């Protein structure tokens, strides 16, 4: 932390809420919040893993409380398990959590069970992008089409890139482009969904983070499957 951390954390959570406002008012269908600090390790009662306020969870609760949404989905593809998101939103019938992460890595999701409203998709060390793509098409997309969320929040972490040194997955830019394209397509396939708010999570190699964000956003902005 530094003297500016708390202010930055409030702005990050506020940006996620502003994206929900813009979507629920009908101003936009998609938003990408390029924020720091990230949020998905922040629990209801403590910080963790560089996270102080859980931006995605705050945005979901804002959508439910302010706009009365009954079904909000959160899809998290950061390399680390979204322990804070599951702590805050686990067990709720109005939230679905899809969480892909590296197995046996901080914060060690393998030591506890997923809440009933969460689907964990763990990947072993050395996993390449084809496994992530297969999980998206065979697990996440069918579940989202079945759930029909009124809002989709994406915890977009890019620290599974092969150039990152905090983890050992081997994703590259085209994998993140694939995810952006699929999320955009899902929005077109679910009439009940008002929009998608993507919130930046991890990503610590500045070069691969920039390239991965650009690849994701370019496809996220498209309507092509």
> Comparing C-alpha atoms, which of 175, 193, 93, 190 is closest to residue 127?
175
46 labelled catalytic = no
Residue in this structure with the two tokens 């496994």, named with its chain if needed: 131
Q: Which of 40, 41, 81, 161 is catalytic?
A: 41
Under a CB-based contact definition with an 8 Å cutoff, are residues 143 and 186 in contact?
no
Question: Which tokens is 13 given?
Answer: 């959570």
DSSP character at residue 109 = G
Instruction: Please state, in angstroms and rounded to a whole number, the distance separating the CA atoms of residues 169 and 159.
Output: 9
Under a CB-based contact definition with an 8 Å cutoff, are residues 110 and 103 in contact?
yes
- C-alpha pair distances (Å), 168 with each of 18, 39, 41, 121, 189: 34, 21, 19, 16, 34
Catalytic amino acids?
A: 41
């Amino acid at each position: 932390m530094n003297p500016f951390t708390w202010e930055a954390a409030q702005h990050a959570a506020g940006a996620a809420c502003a994206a929900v406002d813009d979507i629920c008012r009908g101003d936009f269908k998609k938003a990408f919040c390029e924020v720091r600090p990230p949020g998905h390790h922040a629990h209801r009662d403590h910080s963790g893993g560089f996270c102080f306020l859980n931006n995605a969870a705050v945005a979901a609760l804002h959508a439910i409380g302010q706009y009365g949404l009954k079904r909000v989905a959160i899809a998290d593809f950061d390399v680390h398990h979204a322990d804070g998101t599951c702590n805050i939103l686990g067990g709720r019938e109005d939230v679905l959590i899809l969480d892909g992460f590296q197995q046996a890595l901080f914060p060690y999701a393998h030591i506890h069970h997923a809440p009933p409203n969460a689907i964990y998709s763990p990947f072993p060390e050395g996993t390449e992008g084809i496994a992530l793509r297969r999980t998206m098409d065979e697990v996440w997309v069918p579940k989202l089409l079945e759930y029909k969320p009124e809002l989709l929040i994406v915890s977009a972490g890019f620290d599974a890139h092969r150039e990152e040194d905090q983890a050992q997955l081997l994703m590259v830019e085209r994998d993140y482009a694939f995810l952006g394209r699929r999320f955009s397509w899902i929005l077109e396939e679910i009439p009940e969904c008002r929009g998608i708010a993507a919130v930046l999570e991890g990503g610590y190699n500045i070069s691969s983070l920039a390239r991965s964000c650009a690849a994701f956003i370019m496809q996220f902005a498209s309507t092509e499957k």
